[in-house]
Structure 1
Amino acid sequence: MGITVYYCSITTTIGLDKNQREIINTLNGMQIPYKLLDLSADASLKDEMRAKVGDPKAMAPQIFNGDQYCGDYDAFFQAMEAKKIQQFFKVDNLQNKLTKE
């Protein structure tokens, strides 16, 4: 199914915009196909995202691989720091360009 990122194209903070761009840039850099679902364009997506996450207060960005929940930006950041981004995205057999030495 691939990666799905719930995000907001209309952000209220610079930090949120930066975090979302970091996730997208990482996916692009790793050549992982993904789909963006914009909560700003369709209000029903927020309810869908929160139901899938299991948290009625969850905020974008939220990341899924198919039906498997990967996490939010904080979990993404922790995986980057630990050099476990492939495990975070739940992808196998990828050449992780971010951890090459």
Structure 2
Amino acid sequence: MVIKVYIASSSGSTAIKKQQQDLLGFLEANKIEFEEKDIAANEENRKWMRENVPENSRPATGNPLPPRIFNDSQYLGNYDDFFDARENNAVYSFLGLTAPPGSKEAEALAKQEA
């Protein structure tokens, strides 16, 4: 399982840049392995991302904007979905990964199972 984050290295949107930095910074800080896929520098990445974002997760008009998160080819969500998971201490579940021992998420899961 590989977490893939589709980003745009040259976006004119400050909001998109901040979201990308926040998402990538969180993954790096928590030592979560991921692949960064740039849709601005690679047409194949852009095409793949646009084709694999589910219909119900697309904007009403235009194309899906980065950042978009996948686990291999399974679509996980956009920045808002990631942010909600982070606020709920559920990032590892959101990403389809096992929470490391001692993490808030692992502790919460252990309490639920007890």
TM-score band w.r.t. shorter chain: 0.7 to 0.9
Q: Does 1:32 align with 2:38?
A: no
Q: Taking structure 1 as reference, are residues 62 and 83 closer, same or farther at Cα in structure 2, changes over 3 Å only?
A: same
8 Å CA contact 1:4, 1:63 repeated in 2: yes
Higher Rg of the two aligned structures: 2
Q: Taking structure 1 as reference, are residues 98 and 18 closer, same or farther at Cα in structure 2, changes over 3 Å only?
A: farther
How many residues matched? 100
Superposed, 1:1-101 pairs within 5 Å as 1-55=1-55, 57-95=63-101
Percent identity among equivalent residues? 28
Higher relative contact order (CA 8 A, sep 6+): 1
Provide the TM-score with structure 2 as the length reference. Answer: 0.77
8 Å CA contact 1:20, 1:61 repeated in 2: yes
Q: CA RMSD in A?
A: 2.0
Give how far 1:40 is off: 0.8
Give how far 1:70 is off: 1.3
Structure 1 unmatched ranges of 5 or more: none
Instruction: Give me the whole-angstrom Cα distance separating, in 2, the residues matched to 1:76 and 1:97.
Output: 17
Provide the TM-score with structure 1 as the length reference. Answer: 0.85
Instruction: Give me the whole-angstrom Cα distance separating, in 2, the residues matched to 1:72 and 1:98.
Output: 22
Instruction: Give me the whole-angstrom Cα distance separating, in 2, the residues matched to 1:96 and 1:53.
Output: 33
